[in-house]
Amino acid sequence: MKILFFHPANYLEIGIPQGIAILSARLKQEGHTIDLFDTTFLKPEGYVHKNEDDLTVGPAIYKKTPYTLEDLVKDDPPVCLYEAFQKKIDEFDPNLIAISTMTTNHDFAIDLLKKVKFSCPVIVGGVHATISPEDVIAEKKVNMICIGEGDEALPDLCEALSKGNDYRGIKNLWVKKKDGSIIKNGLGAHVNLDELPCPDWSLFDSRHLFRPYEGQIYKGGFYISSRGCPGGCSYCVNSTLRTISKGCGAYFRYQKPQTTVKHLEELKTKYGANWLKFGDDTFLLQPTQNIFELHEKIKPLNIFFGCSVRPDTVTREKVSLAKDMGCVAMSVGIESGNEEIRRNILNRKISNRDMEGAFRIINEHDIRISSFNMIGLPEEKKGNVFETIEFNRQLKVKSANVYIIYPFPGSRIALERHIQHKDSRGRIIPMSKASRFCLSNMAPNEVEGLRKTFNLYLSLPKSLWPIIQLAEGRGKKSQMIFENLTKFAQAREG
Ligand code: B12
Ligand code: SF4
Q: How many CB atoms lie within 10 A of CB 443?
A: 12
154 CA: nearest ligand 1 atom = 47
Which CATH number covers residue 120?
Answer: 3.40.50.280
Q: Does residue 105 sit in the same domain as residue 221? A: no
Which protein residue has the closest C-alpha to ligand 2 atom 2?
281
Cα–Cα dist 347/357, whole Å: 20
Cα–Cα dist 164/158, whole Å: 10
308 CA: nearest ligand 2 atom = 2
Going by pLDDT thresholds of 50, 70 and 90, the confidence category of residue 60 is low
Question: 233 CA to middle of ligand 2, Å?
Answer: 6
Q: Is 148 in the pocket of ligand 2 (CB under 6 A)?
A: no
Cα–Cα dist 316/358, whole Å: 9
According to the model, what pLDDT value does residue 349 have? 93
Q: Is 103 in the pocket of ligand 1 (CB under 6 A)?
A: yes
| pLDDT > 60? residue 344 | yes
Residue 482, domain member (yes or no): yes
307 or 491, greater pLDDT = 307
Residue 72, domain member (yes or no): no
| pLDDT > 80? residue 61 | no
Residue 248, domain member (yes or no): yes
Which residues contact residue 77 at a Cβ distance below 8 angstroms, ignoring those fewer than 6 apart?
43
| pLDDT > 50? residue 57 | no
List the one residue out of 173, 262, 189 whose CA is nearest residue 225: 262
Which residues contact residue 379 at a Cβ distance below 8 angstroms, ignoring those fewer than 6 apart?
341, 345, 440, 441
Q: Does residue 129 sit in the same domain as residue 258? A: no
Q: Does residue 124 sit in the same domain as residue 251? A: no
Q: Does residue 282 sit in the same domain as residue 405? A: yes
Total domain count, the chain = 2
Cα–Cα dist 296/309, whole Å: 20
- What is the enclosing helix (H) or strand (E) of 46? none
According to the model, what pLDDT value does residue 59 have? 47
Cα–Cα dist 33/197, whole Å: 16
Residue 240, domain member (yes or no): yes
| pLDDT > 70? residue 389 | yes
The phi and psi torsions of 219 (rounded to 5 degrees) equal -125, 140
What's the predicted TM-score (pTM) here? 0.96
Q: Does residue 357 sit in the same domain as residue 472? A: yes
Q: Is 19 in the pocket of ligand 1 (CB under 6 A)?
A: yes
According to the model, what pLDDT value does residue 50 have? 66
Q: Is 22 in the pocket of ligand 1 (CB under 6 A)?
A: yes
Q: Does residue 285 sit in the same domain as residue 403? A: yes
Interval 372-383: pLDDT, tens: 999 999 999 999
Lowest mean per-residue pLDDT among 51-60, 90-99, 188-197: 51-60
Residue 50, domain member (yes or no): no
384 or 58, greater pLDDT = 384
According to the model, what pLDDT value does residue 392 have? 98
Q: Does residue 18 sit in the same domain as residue 117? A: yes
Interval 464-474: pLDDT, tens: 999 999 999 99
Which residues contact residue 164 at a Cβ distance below 8 angstroms, ignoring those fewer than 6 apart?
none
Detail the DSSP E strand segments found in 387-488.
399-404
Going by pLDDT thresholds of 50, 70 and 90, the confidence category of residue 58 is low
Domain that holds residue 113: 2-42+79-184
Interval 15-33: pLDDT, tens: 999 999 999 999 999 999 9
Going by pLDDT thresholds of 50, 70 and 90, the confidence category of residue 201 is very high
Task: Look at residues 154, 184, 214 and tell me which one is the last residue of a structural domain.
Answer: 184
Encode 53-89: b = buried (16+ Cβ within 10 Å), e = exposed: eeeeebbeeeeebeebeeebbeeeeebebeeebbebb
Which CATH number covers residue 261?
Answer: 3.80.30.20
Question: 475 CA to middle of ligand 1, Å?
Answer: 35
Q: Does residue 225 sit in the same domain as residue 137? A: no
Q: Is 238 in the pocket of ligand 2 (CB under 6 A)?
A: yes
According to the model, what pLDDT value does residue 52 have? 52
Q: Does residue 468 sit in the same domain as residue 339? A: yes
Cα–Cα dist 370/397, whole Å: 7
CA dihedral 403, 407, 409, 411 (to 10 degrees): 100
237 CA: nearest ligand 2 atom = 6
Sign of the torsion formed by the C-alpha atoms of 236, 242, 244 and 245: positive
- The ligand that comes nearest to the alpha carbon of residue 309 is 2
SS3 468: helix
According to the model, what pLDDT value does residue 212 have? 86
Going by pLDDT thresholds of 50, 70 and 90, the confidence category of residue 490 is confident
| pLDDT > 80? residue 324 | yes
Q: Does residue 13 sit in the same domain as residue 118? A: yes
| pLDDT > 60? residue 54 | no
Residue 196, domain member (yes or no): no
The phi and psi torsions of 330 (rounded to 5 degrees) equal -130, 140
According to the model, what pLDDT value does residue 63 have? 66
477 class by beta-carbon count within 10 Å (0-12 exposed, 13-18 middle, 19+ buried) = exposed
Q: Does residue 169 sit in the same domain as residue 247? A: no
Q: Is 335 in the pocket of ligand 2 (CB under 6 A)?
A: no
Lowest mean per-residue pLDDT among 207-216, 224-233, 413-422: 207-216
Residue 254, domain member (yes or no): yes
- The ligand that comes nearest to the alpha carbon of residue 310 is 2
Residue 158, domain member (yes or no): yes
Which residues contact residue 353 at a Cβ distance below 8 angstroms, ignoring those fewer than 6 apart?
none
Task: Look at residues 139, 155, 184 and tell me which one is the last residue of a structural domain.
Answer: 184
According to the model, what pLDDT value does residue 65 have? 74
Cα–Cα dist 286/347, whole Å: 21
According to the model, what pLDDT value does residue 66 have? 75
Cα–Cα dist 282/143, whole Å: 34
Which residues contact residue 207 at a Cβ distance below 8 angstroms, ignoring those fewer than 6 apart?
14, 41, 72, 73
- The ligand that comes nearest to the alpha carbon of residue 191 is 1
Q: Does residue 173 sit in the same domain as residue 209? A: no
The pLDDT of 186-192, averaged and rounded, is: 97
Interval 100-125: pLDDT, tens: 999 999 999 999 999 999 999 999 99
Q: Please, what is the average pLDDT of the chain?
A: 95
Q: Is 154 in the pocket of ligand 1 (CB under 6 A)?
A: yes
